[in-house]
Amino acid sequence: MNHANTAIRPVNQDAAALHRSLTVVDGLQYANWDREIFEQLVAAGVSGVHATIVYHETCRETLLRLGEWNRRFDAYPELILPVHEMADIRRAKAEGRVGVFFGAQNCSPIEDDIDLVAIFRRLGLLIMQLTYNNQSLLATGCYETDDTGITRFGREVIREMNRVGMVIDMSHSGERSTLEAIELSARPILISHANPLFFHAAKRNKSERVLRALAESGGLLGLSTYAMHLPGGGDCTLLQFCDMVARTVDLMGIEHVGVGTDLCQKQPTDILTWMRNGRWSRTLDFGEGSAEQPDWPAQPHWFRGATDYPNLTAGLLARGFEAHEIARIMGENWLDFLTAATQASTA
């Protein structure tokens, strides 16, 4: 079907039943994790979630984050389990739990040491961004004025990530760096949480050129519900969002589109300030916010938190997507992509 011309139709299928049948995977969250959030995810039928464990963490600090997750897995075995392979997400679905897999939104864990790529992959870091907004040792972030693409160290690291099966994520990178990463990587890459620029002009959203190259190379885009990535912010409607999904699917192909909500539940303002400033500035940087609006933006009313995943399924159904397409967008694409992308290379 061509989704651009699909009319909104009355829901002639039980959206809730459809949602319950899906294996839902959220391609990015950064919650202040606790029992309530895990219970919400289970109740909302989410079977897999990509949990960010790094914004600015160094090697040692990343080990702290992994240690904290080990304690959570010990504390809530009835709710969560660690994902070593994608079959663990199927198991989580069958058992009414949530499988958690790890990603870094920065390359800070490997510091200046290429050998740390294999070590963190062994520890379960499946995904790593080459940059987080600023220039990194590997590539250029989307907040820098100019983008020189992938550095000398970056080329080496891409080869190593390909080798060990750690997924390259360019969500916070500049355009040239992203295109070069797609080109240089021998394996498909990821943009785990961003929207198309045509939907909303934000530094973090992606051009059609990038989205086309991503799709052509077998990559995956996770669509974001973060207000800064939506037209009108928190006032963006579910219909607008689902229209954008349809247009993105028409651009990229159904198998290249998933969801990466960028949900950051229960995080205080000082965490947002830390995400934006790390240790790199002595004057406050407001990132996508401003001095007038330094705080977390309000989520759209149809996706206030982990309880609202069924609304996405209902919205896509109302927008005219078929059940098998919704299954892909809501989770199967993530499962297929990660199954292939996290295998160690046999080349």
Residue number, 82 or 278, with CB nearest to a copy of itself: 278
Residue number, 171 or 313, with CB nearest to a copy of itself: 171
Number of C-beta neighbours around residue 307 at 10 A: 14
> Least CB distance from residue 126 to a copy of itself, whole Å?
21
116-145 footprint of a copy of itself as x/- string (CB under 8 A): ------------------xxxx--x--xxx
Q: Of residues 7, 71, 112, 291, which one binds a copy of itself by CB under 8 A?
A: 112
Report the site for a copy of itself in 243-282 (rule: CB under 8 A): 278-282
* DSSP helix/strand/coil, 204: coil
How far is 183 from 174, CA to CA, in rounded Å?
Answer: 14
CB contact set of 260 (below 8 Å; sequence gap of 6+): 26, 27, 28, 50, 171, 192, 193, 194, 222, 223, 224
Residue number, 148 or 207, with CB nearest to a copy of itself: 148
Any idea what DSSP says for residue 279? T
Query: Does residue 183 belong to the site contacting a copy of itself (CB under 8 A)?
Result: no
CB contact set of 121 (below 8 Å; sequence gap of 6+): 164, 165, 166
Report the site for a copy of itself in 159-178 (rule: CB under 8 A): 159-160
Give, for 15, the enclosing helix (H) or strand (E). helix 15-21
18 within 8 A of 317, measured Cβ to Cβ: yes
278-317 footprint of a copy of itself as x/- string (CB under 8 A): xxxxxx-x--------------------------------
How far is 244 from 223, CA to CA, in rounded Å?
Answer: 9
How many residues touch a copy of itself under the rule CB under 8 A: the total is: 34
Surface-to-core class of residue 338, CB atoms within 10 Å of its CB (0-12 exposed, 13-18 middle, 19+ buried):
buried
187-226 footprint of a copy of itself as x/- string (CB under 8 A): ----------------------------------------
Residues that bind a copy of itself (CB under 8 A): 56, 58, 108, 111-115, 134-137, 140, 143-149, 151-154, 156, 159-160, 278-283, 285
